[in-house]
Amino acid sequence: MKAALPRSGSDLLRDALRNRGTAYSRDERDHLALRGLLPPRVESIEEQASRVLANVRRLPAPIEQYGYLAAVQDENETLFFRVLVDHLEELLPLVYTPTVGEACRQWSRRFLRPRGLYIGAQDAGRILEVLRNHPRRDVGIIVVTDGGRILGLGDLGMNGMGIPIGKLALYTACAGVAPERCLPVTLDVGTDTPGVREDAHYLGSRTPRLAGAAYDALVDEFVAAAEEAFPGVIVQFEDFNNANAFRLLARHRDRSCMFNDDVQGTGAMGLAALTAAARATGVTLAEERVLFAGAGEACLGIATALVAALQRAGLAESEARARCLLFDSQGTVVASRTDLPEHKRPFAQRRAPTRDLAAAIEAFRPTALIGASGQGGLFTPAVLEAMARVADRPVIFALSNPTSNSECTAEQAYAATGGRAIFASGSPFAPVALGGRTLAPAQANNAYVFPGMGLGLLACGARRATDAMFVAAAESLAAMVSDADLAAGRVFPPPSHMRDVAAAVATAVATVAFEQGLATRPRPQRLADAIRAGMYQPVYA
């Protein structure tokens, strides 16, 4: 449902969803009272996009490019998404990871124009009223964060708003969810990071982070209010800290159509990557042994998805869990430890503990090493060389963001393994020339999963987001990886294929929703075609 046309030409130019800028024809400029408000030349959207891209490339630093693209989005969303869709591979690292991490660090200092909604502890009892302040009622997807664990940067409080904004840009660019149906939300519940809270320019609440019953009540109220304000809305939880993420997922997943991308989306993405890598290594998924460097949302999400896949392959649950060894800041996650929180205990193994990662590799002999530790350089030469010894084609995923937090670089992984490694990373790395070959590692990005997941849920009006839907998402993503991708060293399709990936994932997710009786809309005769037909295209209407 579109809002009424602005009352004057100047109002129209300030409406980012409808503004065409210099693309208004001369007749439109007369009819819409725009004459004189724009430079004389009439441009096509292709000419506008060329100018935007040239300006992006001219800027010296990624954070400046991010800022310029954000300004374009604030002025003309159709143009912004046209440039983004046409140049996804080049611009994805600018509008999301890794650049969005630096944007969040500087959020309060760079703030110019609001986007989305900020809901604070002071709004308790009035959250529905705050949500109704949003000018559009046809919201389909909300991405919400409390800023508790922004990428690998920790608790940034309200400054984390860059994450929901970036995620929703990918919903539109990758999955064709119309921008007017996307709403970023930040729950400003304070921050426990003194450097953020005491910054003279910080725009969030200068209080310690809300916790306990008051925190849970605020989130409960938000979820209920979102469903009342926007019936049928999908809520994606993003970058909550470990202490809250698992509890809130368990609390709300069976009550509403919500999911946690850091746990479930990462789980599906990681499972898809392992499934694709198995085609190159010759090691079947049922034979995988995976050592996880990290035991937070990402690693536990992938481990949980892998256990489910191994059970489907015929392994008993206990045997499947034994194939997954977690290694956290205190060493291997073993049953003898008394410091394990509830969410780690199901993966605690009965084995001798070690606090040395290379030693853990030698003892466990994994086929794959997956890092989501937030510890830059954790995969030392000794660690990488140990992987080269225990596996013929070691799978090495360094998933931490931003780039400075990556466990190793692509070049380091390939050099230590003689080019035998199958590598993917959370931040992008350039192709590596080694031994007469050029290896092009893929960026392991949740953008391969969550946009299609949300699109599929929207397309069928799903009442819940289930584990089976994430399994289907992983399987459809893995199937999109071509033999040519694997030969080049990639376990994901190129970013330029993300719209095709999202359509495939959405079709798989909606199919499961219909099969599970969770859809509220009639099933189209040709589901895949219907989903593609409904995807937003960034063209002037």
Sequence ranges of the domains in the chain = 9-95, 99-256, 264-447
- 347 and 332 Cβ atoms separated by less than 8 Å: no
- 235 and 256 Cβ atoms separated by less than 8 Å: yes
pLDDT at 7: 59
Architecture per CATH, domain 9-95, reads as: Up-down Bundle (1.20)
pLDDT at 86: 97
* Beta pairing partners, 369: 291, 396
**Same fold? 9-95, 264-447:** no
Instruction: List, in sequence order, the alpha helices (H) in 237-380.
Output: 242-252, 266-281, 297-312, 317-322, 357-364
pLDDT at 402: 86
Residues 306 and 175: their CA atoms lie apart, in Å, by: 25
- 188 and 94 Cβ atoms separated by less than 8 Å: no
In whole angstroms, how far apart are CA 120 and each of 58, 93, 328, 454?
Answer: 39, 30, 33, 26
pLDDT at 1: 46
pLDDT at 5: 52
Residues 120 and 129: their CA atoms lie apart, in Å, by: 13
Domain 99-256 falls under CATH 3.50.50.100: no
314 closest CA partner among 274, 287, 276, 349: 287
Residue with tokens 């590596």: 432
Q: What is the pLDDT of residues 169-180, one digit of tens each?
A: 999 999 999 999
Catalytic residues, by residue number, are 96, 167
Could you say which of 3.40.50.261, 3.40.50.720, 3.40.50.300, 1.10.645.10 is the CATH number of the domain covering 264-447? 3.40.50.720
pLDDT at 152: 81
Q: Which residues of the chain have pLDDT under 50?
A: 1
pTM score of the predicted model: 0.94
445 closest CA partner among 81, 86, 96, 70: 96
